[in-house]
Structures are given as structure tokens and as C-alpha cells.
A = this chain, B = another copy of it.
Amino acid sequence: MATIIGAQIPNLPWQDKPEAFPYPVWRFDGNPIITRDNLFFANSIFNSAVVPFGGKFAGVFRVDTRTRDQILVAGFSDDGVRWTLDGKKLFEGYDPRLCEIDGAYYLTWVKLTPHGTVIGVAGTKDFVSWTEYEDACYPVARNGVLFPRRINGEYVLLIRPCDRGHTPYGDIFLLHSKDLTYWGKPRFVMAPQKNWEMTKVGAGPTPIETDRYWLMLYHGVLTSCNGFTYSMGAALLDKEEPWKVLHRADSFLLAPHELYECVGDVPNVVFPCAALADSRSGRIAVYYGAADTAVALAFTTVDDVIDYVLAHDCAGNVD
């Protein structure tokens, strides 16, 4: 039995696992929860981040506008399912992640610059006023994800260096910082290993702390003759040296299967960007972008997912 370390979220969105369902992650039956038509000026809304906020939920959402500009907007929800998005642009860029550290909420996202994308870093207390910090890197990088607390006194940031365009490769690395301004001691975390993720991998939601591991959900990409397929995988990282992958599921945990995941602006995409984890019940709600078009929700528990990873371990490491 694994334990989530962190806050209790009694109003975590939830549906019980369907009877006899054989896999560790199951979809919300009301998917997608946010469609492309949610905002007047949106072409699509997907790959978005949420956190518990004042007993309710707040989030930062990726909106591709009808000019196909990529912007972030804030959103709020009482139940984590029905969201009210704010029409005001917070930042330019995409694929936000959110985490709370020491009472402040930190946003990392793929920030657009004239020279390529970087990892932008900003903080807020109220999701209304934001402070932007120095970029965490030079171009080109994507999938910047902070750990939800300092480890050995240092902030730790997952990052996926890449190139301009639709990068045909990609590994996950990790950086350390004492001050969110200077970053160093880069460490390799993981590269594609199994076929379903053979093109590239990138960190997903803020890692979830458990008693024995950091649970990192991530996306992996497979290239077929008709393009990329994005799926969700899971790995368990060392608590103190989180660049060490102790266990890793050899198969995806969620892959494009439903029509809203297979059809849309980019067919065949399941892209997790956020997860809510309730330390009391062990329940986890995963928010993921579907087909680069909509936001969907899936569920698991800390035991479901860790048991699955341990049972399908391809990391070749002992704990």
C-alpha cells in the first residue's frame, strides 16, 4: 500500500473504476470536460494545468485562439469538472504546469520567444496577479515541470530540450536551483525505451510525492507513417535523487482510444498536464489534452498506478 504525501482534496473529481476494468487508469464518462467551443475566441482548449485552490480548484489553460495564437488563461471550478475560463490572456505560450510550493503557486510553461521556446516561470498567490521570473533556460526546450517541493533545499525542474519545429527526438532532463533564477547540475532522467514512446518522452503533471517514490506521469510519442501518437506512461523516481528512475512501466497507461482522442486538430493525442492527488483516499484525477482539441479527465489511485508500474517494470533497477 502506497501513500500520497500532500494535501487532502475531499472534493477531488471522481468516478469509481468500472467493474472488471483491467487497466490502472480509466476515463471520466463525461469526457471531454472542456471542449474547443468553451471560449468564444478559441479554436481549441487542451493541455492544461489545475491545482486545488482555496477549497476549490484553479487552473491555467492552453487556448489556441482562432488566429491559432497560443495563449494561457486562468480558470476556476468548484468541482474540478465544470470550469469557468477567463477570457484574459495571462501569457503567450502553451502546455502550462502548475504546482504549489510553500504557499505560492508556480506556473511553468512553454514560453514563446523569437528565437525558440523556453521554459517560462511565474508565480501567483491568487491566479490574478502574477510575477514572472527569469526564464529557466535558453531555447529550445519544452515540458518544464517543477517538483512540488524543494529537494535537499533546491528547486528541481524537469525539462525536455528539443529543437525548433516538431522535434523528432527528446529525453527528459532535470535542473537544480537555489533561487529559481540560476539553474545547474543538469541530470539525465530518462530517454525513450519502449516502442510506444520511441520518438520522444516529456514530463507530464507535477510529480506526485508518495512515501517511497516520486510518481512521474509523462507522455511518450510513437511515429507512424501518418504522424505522431501521444500516450501517457508512468515512472517512479528516487525521493532524494529524483533523476534516478527506480521503476518504469513498460507500457502506456492511457493511449488514444476514444473518438475525442483520435479525431481533432492533431489526431491520436493523449497529453497529461496535471494531476490532483488526494492524500487521504489515494485517489488521483489526471487532466489530459485530447487530440490537441479538448480537455479530458481520467482516474486512478496511487495503488493502482504504482502496482501497475512495479508489475510492468522495465527500468532494470532495484528499489
Residues of A within 8 A of B (CB): 22, 36, 40-41, 43, 65-70, 113-116, 118, 134-135, 137-140, 159, 161-164, 166-167, 169, 171, 173, 175-178, 181-186, 188, 191, 194-196, 198, 222, 224-229, 250-252, 255-257, 259, 262-268, 292, 314
Contact = CB atoms under 8 A, between A and B. Distances in A.
Contacts of A196: 43, 66-68
A252 B138 contact: no
Contacts of A198: 68
Nearest 10 CB-CB pairings of A with B = A226-B227, A68-B195, A182-B182, A182-B184, A66-B251, A163-B163, A68-B196, A166-B225, A138-B186, A67-B251
Nearest to A65: B251
B66 A252 contact: yes
Contacts of A115: 171, 173, 188, 191
Contacts of A268: 226, 265
A171 B138 CA distance: 10
A186 B118 contact: yes
Contacts of A194: 67-69
| Main DSSP-derived SS at the A contact region | loop
Contacts of A182: 176-178, 182-185
A224 B138 contact: no
28 contacts: A22-B40, A41-B251, A43-B255, A66-B251, A67-B194, A67-B195, A67-B252, A68-B194, A68-B252, A115-B188, A115-B191, A116-B161, A134-B185, A138-B161, A138-B186, A140-B161, A162-B163, A163-B163, A176-B182, A224-B266, A224-B292, A226-B266, A226-B268, A256-B265, A259-B263, A262-B263, A263-B263, A263-B267
